[in-house]
Structure 1
Amino acid sequence: MSVASMRRATRESVSGLPREFWWLWTSTLVNRLGAFVATFMALYLTLDRGYSASYAGLVASLHGLGGVVSSLGAGVMADRLGRRPTLLISQSATAASVALLGFMHHPVAIAGVAFLVGMASNASRPAVQAMMADIVKPEDRVRAFSLNYWAINLGFAISSMAAGFIAEYSYLAGFLGEAVMTLACAVVVFLKLPESRPTQARDAAGKSTEPRVGMGAVLRDGRFMSLVGLSFVVALIFQQGYVGLPVAMGTDGFTSADFGLAIAINGVLIVALQIPVTRYIEHRDPRRLLIISSLLAGSGFGLTAFAGSIAVYAMTVCVWSLAEIVNAPTQTGLVVRLSPVHGRGRYQGMYTMSWSAAALVAPLMAGFLIDRYGAEWLWGACAVLGTVAAGGYWLLMRGLPAEEGLGAEEAMVASPAAAVVSVRKKKGRAGVSA
């Protein structure tokens, strides 16, 4: 591909999205650039504080449990208070709790604050995804979610390298650095992002004429809850790249540096391929994409059972990384498609919870299977789960009506931010593209 073709492809991938999306994208990138706690918590507790690996695992589990607890509450907040207030509360609380964690010394205090960090940091996800769905046209949502996922991985890749050097100097500096970057996200949200929560039609008495979407309605939505269950299964597979893979490689005699080299391929591929792959899959059948990505994820981890060298491990990482690139934006777009306009926060909160729950269960699953039966059983289980998920997506998507875009008038009723974009287009000044 020529340089001109690459430039044209990049321009087409990022064009046509509203200015509000790019500020939200910037907030996501800044947030991930400051990531430190999730990456270096285990090393901080074992090397710097001298605690056992078991205690470090307990703290990591409490951090994940905090995310599970906050996911649903944050989704309700995003619908009731609004996306913008939820983001500001979450990011401010994250900055305060991360900074506080750096000064904690007692094991009980560290565990308690880690739980709070998990709650605060995960509370922003439902609001971000709901706001993105509010301000981006239906036909552009897969591309928007893909670009946001790309920003997450780009920021994480850069922060992981930088945080390694910071950790050699001072772990406290890393905690405080993440707090500052998270506060910077809150500033971006406060200054640049308008509230996007869709407005509800009301009668003469000021009461809403539309049905209320509570958590009970979410739980009774059989198709959506099936998607949440499938999301949990897929997330359980992907999590093994960070909990099962390092243990299995260590058991085979490979070093932590070898694991770092293998897993680094995941981030490199996502940064390099996310945008071009999204251009290919953007308007294709989501059922086929989810089925293929599930089979790729299962087979990628399943092939790990035959790995005996770094090269083979790297090849398996390539396979399931491609599955991740396809699955993430497609599945997030499907969540929005199944969500009622006035319940997007709650639906996104339930979806986020499936990933948080998988982060809790995956280490237990890996530890049990590897200790009792060997790593080959873990990789075989991943292959089976991938096949089960593919079959589940095939059943779930049968009879799903095609998604239709919002008209201009409907968009103006649904979302204040969408109304702004619509007015700009009418004046010949479409939303700024990167």
Structure 2
Amino acid sequence: MLVALVATPRIRRLVKETMGGLPRQFWWLWVSTLVNKLGAFVVTFLSFYLTADRGYPASYAGLVASLFGLGSAISALGAGVLADRIGRRPTLVAAQLGTALSTAVLGFVNGPVAIAAVVFLVGLCNNATRPATSAIIADLVPAEDRVRAYSLNYWAINIGFGLSAAVAGLIATQGYLTLFLLDALSTLVCAVVIFLKIPETRPAQPPATAQGAAGPAVGLGTVFRDGPFMTVVGLNLLLALIFQQSSTTLPVAMGGAGLSATQYGLVIGLNGVLIVVLQIPLTRWMEGRSRTGLLIASCLLAGWGFGLGALAGSAAWLFALSVAVWTVGEVLNAPTMMGLVAELAPTHARGRYQGVYSLSWSLASFIGPGVGGVVLQYAGPGVLWSVCGVCGTVAALGHVALGRRTRRAGARAVAEAAVTEAAVIEVAAPGMAAPGAAPAPAGGKAPAGA
């Protein structure tokens, strides 16, 4: 049925319009992301592995997931700085190699302390890929196409995630070690693709004669003092705390209701499947619509989509309905938010800005599992899912108040980026395309710096 739907002329035209006009290097990044997520089993099934297979309590599973988040939080800032200093490509490849090694080791370690320590390392390496990947997209893709590019990259993530989650539940019945090793292998393949096919994209620093036009250097302190941007980060943290429950407390709650790992895999796999189906049509629908309105709607759908879990009990189909609702919110939110972050970031500080934005997700993965696990264990699932609804509402109200400020700040950042890139082009080589400029026609040169 899905194949027949995709085969219709209208859908084919929609796909062609959405995917056309992006640089070749972007598509290699897209392929590497897809390969990586096809084998991304460990994070999704970590809580189930610790509680159902190893017999640890929900509180320990939450603690370990929080350590994963702590590692992610530390690497978010460090990887953002490295992406700006030594380059996107070496940062990304090193992070993927570290993730592959630590994931494989996790499948063999025993004991609560050893497991917790290795999970921390997995989080440290795994999240170091985010700032570099987001910065590469911002470097390669013109501003007017970035939301579409981020949307397509997110589409790749969820094609892989949807397939891997559904299959992983079946593989887990034969033993979890296979999941760990397949995850490590897919990450290694991803690192090879990046190394071979994606050159460095970091914008070249303009010579001294252009320093005045390019603007002052941007450090982490500058990022943290950027009021509109940090408000965006804070609101995203609130939303990320909600989404974090999908891979931590949701499997524990479903397991406590008598549902199996296979049922959880199918339910959570629906998230990826729906994103695969909805991402392209919704991306086209989002074009030209109010960014603030999209963010408000996404927060409400995410919060109260999880809130539906309070009604689920032991009914797998109600959990599936909950996933369907918050998935629509996710589809609306992810590319819109990533495009906003890229717009607010100065050209030569994209890694740092993406790192601080990634920090909101990392802090959520550190705080969310522990708090969610405690609420689930002592107050019950009804309270947990209701709190998610309240958090989504608060985030939506925050975007109501923030909308005008981010529009002004975004317009200023885009103008500054144009000045910076123009200075680099003029001094380096007349006629040379700058990173983030429109790609050359088919058969021409790739964007400069790529």
Q: TM-score scaled to structure 1, two decimals?
A: 0.88
Residue in structure 1 matched with residue 424 of structure 2 by the alignment:
413
CA deviations over 1:35-88 (Å, ceiling 9, x no partner): 132133345445665656554443332222211111110011011111011011
Matches within 5 A, 1:67-78: 67-78=72-83
Say if 2:123 is the partner of 1:118. Answer: yes
Query: Is the CA contact (8 Å cut-off) linking 1:67 and 1:118 kept in structure 2?
Result: yes
Which of 96-105 and 5-14 deviates more? 96-105
Residue in structure 2 matched with residue 389 of structure 1 by the alignment:
395
Q: Please give the alpha-carbon distance, in whole angstroms, between the structure 2 residues aligned to 1:96 and 1:249.
A: 31
Residue in structure 1 matched with residue 200 of structure 2 by the alignment:
195
Say if 2:277 is the partner of 1:266. Answer: no
Sequence identity of aligned pairs in percent?
54
Consecutive unaligned residues of structure 2, counting only runs of 5 or more, are none
Matches within 5 A, 1:26-37: 26-37=31-42
Query: Is the CA contact (8 Å cut-off) linking 2:97 and 2:188 kept in structure 1?
Result: yes
Shift of the alpha carbon at 1:391? Answer: 1.4
Query: Is the CA contact (8 Å cut-off) linking 1:408 and 1:422 kept in structure 2?
Result: no
- Choose which of 136, 141, 148 in structure 1 pairs with 2:141: 136
Q: Residues 155 and 115 (structure 1 numbering): CA distance in 2 closer, same or farther, change over 3 Å?
A: same
Query: Is the CA contact (8 Å cut-off) linking 2:168 and 2:265 kept in structure 1?
Result: no
Which of 406-415 and 114-123 deviates more? 406-415
Consecutive unaligned residues of structure 1, counting only runs of 5 or more, are none
Residue in structure 1 matched with residue 330 of structure 2 by the alignment:
324
Q: Residues 284 and 230 (structure 1 numbering): CA distance in 2 closer, same or farther, change over 3 Å?
A: same
Q: Residues 70 and 277 (structure 1 numbering): CA distance in 2 closer, same or farther, change over 3 Å?
A: same
CA deviations over 1:337-370 (Å, ceiling 9, x no partner): 1111111111111111111211222223333434
Q: Please give the alpha-carbon distance, in whole angstroms, between the structure 2 residues aligned to 1:409 and 1:361.
A: 38
Q: Residues 242 and 91 (structure 1 numbering): CA distance in 2 closer, same or farther, change over 3 Å?
A: closer
Residue in structure 2 matched with residue 363 of structure 1 by the alignment:
369
Q: Residues 174 and 258 (structure 1 numbering): CA distance in 2 closer, same or farther, change over 3 Å?
A: closer
Residue in structure 2 matched with residue 285 of structure 1 by the alignment:
290
Q: Please give the alpha-carbon distance, in whole angstroms, between the structure 2 residues aligned to 1:423 and 1:241.
A: 38
Matches within 5 A, 1:163-242: 163-169=168-174, 171-203=176-208, 210-242=215-247
Query: Is the CA contact (8 Å cut-off) linking 2:26 and 2:140 kept in structure 1?
Result: yes
Q: Please give the alpha-carbon distance, in whole angstroms, between the structure 2 residues aligned to 1:385 and 1:420.
A: 35
Residue in structure 2 matched with residue 425 of structure 1 by the alignment:
441
Say if 2:26 is the partner of 1:17. Answer: no
Query: Is the CA contact (8 Å cut-off) linking 1:63 and 1:114 kept in structure 2?
Result: yes
Shift of the alpha carbon at 1:122? Answer: 0.8
Which of 282-291 and 226-235 deviates more? 282-291
Shift of the alpha carbon at 1:276? Answer: 1.0
Residue in structure 2 matched with residue 148 of structure 1 by the alignment:
153
CA deviations over 1:213-234 (Å, ceiling 9, x no partner): 1110011001111001000111
Matches within 5 A, 1:85-100: 85-100=90-105
Q: Residues 205 and 146 (structure 1 numbering): CA distance in 2 closer, same or farther, change over 3 Å?
A: closer
Aligned with 2:440: secondary structure? Answer: helix
CA deviations over 1:305-357 (Å, ceiling 9, x no partner): 34454444333322211111100110111111111111111111111111121
Aligned with 1:129: secondary structure? Answer: helix
Query: Is the CA contact (8 Å cut-off) linking 1:202 and 1:208 kept in structure 2?
Result: no
Q: Residues 197 and 381 (structure 1 numbering): CA distance in 2 closer, same or farther, change over 3 Å?
A: same
Aligned with 2:279: secondary structure? Answer: helix
CA deviations over 1:136-170 (Å, ceiling 9, x no partner): 11111111111111111111222234444544445
Query: Is the CA contact (8 Å cut-off) linking 1:202 and 1:209 kept in structure 2?
Result: no
Q: Please give the alpha-carbon distance, in whole angstroms, between the structure 2 residues aligned to 1:142 and 1:262.
A: 28
Matches within 5 A, 1:330-369: 330-369=336-375
Q: Residues 184 and 408 (structure 1 numbering): CA distance in 2 closer, same or farther, change over 3 Å?
A: farther
Q: Please give the alpha-carbon distance, in whole angstroms, between the structure 1 residues aligned to 2:273 and 2:69.
A: 25
Q: Give, as a single letter, the amino acid of the residue that structure 2 aligns with 1:60.
A: A
Query: Is the CA contact (8 Å cut-off) linking 1:31 and 1:181 kept in structure 2?
Result: yes
Q: Please give the alpha-carbon distance, in whole angstroms, between the structure 1 residues aligned to 2:210 and 2:21.
A: 39
Query: Is the CA contact (8 Å cut-off) linking 1:136 and 1:418 kept in structure 2?
Result: no
Q: Give, as a single letter, the amino acid of the residue that structure 2 aligns with 1:90.
A: A
Aligned with 2:208: secondary structure? Answer: coil
Shift of the alpha carbon at 1:424? Answer: 2.6
Q: Residues 74 and 34 (structure 1 numbering): CA distance in 2 closer, same or farther, change over 3 Å?
A: same
Q: Residues 408 and 42 (structure 1 numbering): CA distance in 2 closer, same or farther, change over 3 Å?
A: same
Q: Please give the alpha-carbon distance, in whole angstroms, between the structure 2 residues aligned to 1:207 and 1:186.
A: 38
Which of 35-44 and 21-30 deviates more? 35-44
Q: Give, as a single letter, the amino acid of the residue that structure 2 aligns with 1:19.
A: R
Q: Please give the alpha-carbon distance, in whole angstroms, between the structure 1 residues aligned to 2:193 and 2:262.
A: 37
Query: Is the CA contact (8 Å cut-off) linking 1:18 and 1:421 kept in structure 2?
Result: no
Q: Residues 208 and 358 (structure 1 numbering): CA distance in 2 closer, same or farther, change over 3 Å?
A: same
Which of 319-328 and 385-394 deviates more? 385-394
Q: Give, as a single letter, the amino acid of the residue that structure 2 aligns with 1:342.
A: H
Q: Residues 179 and 310 (structure 1 numbering): CA distance in 2 closer, same or farther, change over 3 Å?
A: closer
Q: Please give the alpha-carbon distance, in whole angstroms, between the structure 2 residues aligned to 1:429 and 1:206.
A: 27
Q: Please give the alpha-carbon distance, in whole angstroms, between the structure 2 residues aligned to 1:377 and 1:362.
A: 15
Q: Please give the alpha-carbon distance, in whole angstroms, between the structure 2 residues aligned to 1:388 and 1:99.
A: 40
Say if 2:46 is the partner of 1:41. Answer: yes
Q: Please give the alpha-carbon distance, in whole angstroms, between the structure 1 residues aligned to 2:46 and 2:175.
A: 13
Shift of the alpha carbon at 1:32? Answer: 0.9
Equivalent pairs, count:
431
CA deviations over 1:381-434 (Å, ceiling 9, x no partner): 222222211111121121423656987994793798855975733976899xxx
